[in-house]
Amino acid sequence: MNAMPFANDAGSPVRPMTRRRLLAAYVQEIGCECRRYLRSPSFLLPTLLFPALFYTLFAVVLGARNSPEAPRFLLATYATFGVMAPGLFGFGMSLALERDNGLLTLKRALPMPPAAYLLGKMVMAMLMAALIAALLMTLALTLGGVTLSWPRMLWLGAVCIGGALPFCALGLLLGTLVKGHGAPALVNLLYLPMAFLSGLWFPLSMLPPLIGRLAPVWPSHHLNQLAQAAVGFDSGTPWPHVLWLALFTVLVTALASWRLRRHG
């Protein structure tokens, strides 16, 4: 069937959105989502400050006493830890809450592209990942005594920004699985154990062998390997980690999209 224009209350047809208006709708929704989260201290401050505080304590205060390479190693691990949060909480918890309070239903009723809502949250998570990476690198260079060239800093920043996408996909899936009141518990139940089981808090060599064998299951392990390579540690060829994260993102996004269409 050919697409027919809608009619407004006056009976005159409403033309489909032009490409310019469509692009403006995406840009406006992305801007609204980013401003909404950046103006929310309950989201912004913990997301930015927790990785910075942990890095200051364990890398700057305690880490350098054990090994001169500890601040550089922990820069990668806490960058990974910080990047996980915007996708899991900004996507997962907020989506569950907005499904409960009817905001998602309202968004669907508005004359806007269906993907703009999700794209806005994705860009927000990537922006937060960039801010987290910049803050941690500033601490590492000034307080941690870490020396990184500009290409390596840009490499780490790119890893963090792109690394937010798998956790956006995982957060999207979590947001379709639970109601709003149960979302914070479920996200925390996954966020903290995943960081531990991926070797972000302790090297895998210090953990039981079973945890080391299961670590590649988690996306945070693969992102950490890419971050370690970005700061100069040898973690092998990066392409298996990139491909695993890309496949994880595509499959989990497809499953989450199916659930969102089916269950709302």
- Give the mean model confidence (pLDDT) for residues 244-255: 96
Q: Rounded CA gap, 87 and 44, in Å?
A: 13
| Residue 14, H or E segment | strand 13-14
CB 218 within 8 A of CB 241: no
Of 133-137, 157-161, 203-207, 219-223, give the lowest mean pLDDT range: 203-207
CB 51 within 8 A of CB 132: yes
- Average pLDDT over the chain, rounded to whole? 86
Start-to-end C-alpha separation, the chain:
27
Each residue's pLDDT tens digit, 126-175: 999 999 999 999 999 999 889 999 999 999 999 999 999 999 999 999 98
Q: Rounded CA gap, 156 and 175, in Å?
A: 28
Q: Rounded CA gap, 40 and 175, in Å?
A: 19
Q: Rounded CA gap, 169 and 163, in Å?
A: 11
**C-alpha closest to that of 113 among 25, 185, 184:** 25
Residue 215 is classified by DSSP as: G
3-state class of 40 per DSSP? coil
Say what the pLDDT of residue 6 is.
42
Say what the pLDDT of residue 43 is.
83
Say what the pLDDT of residue 2 is.
43
Burial of 232 (0-12, 13-18, 19+ CB in 10 A): middle
Q: Rounded CA gap, 42 and 52, in Å?
A: 16
Say what the pLDDT of residue 264 is.
60
Each residue's pLDDT tens digit, 80-125: 999 999 999 988 888 888 888 877 778 777 777 778 888 988 999 9
180: confidence class by pLDDT, cuts 50, 70, 90: confident
16: confidence class by pLDDT, cuts 50, 70, 90: low
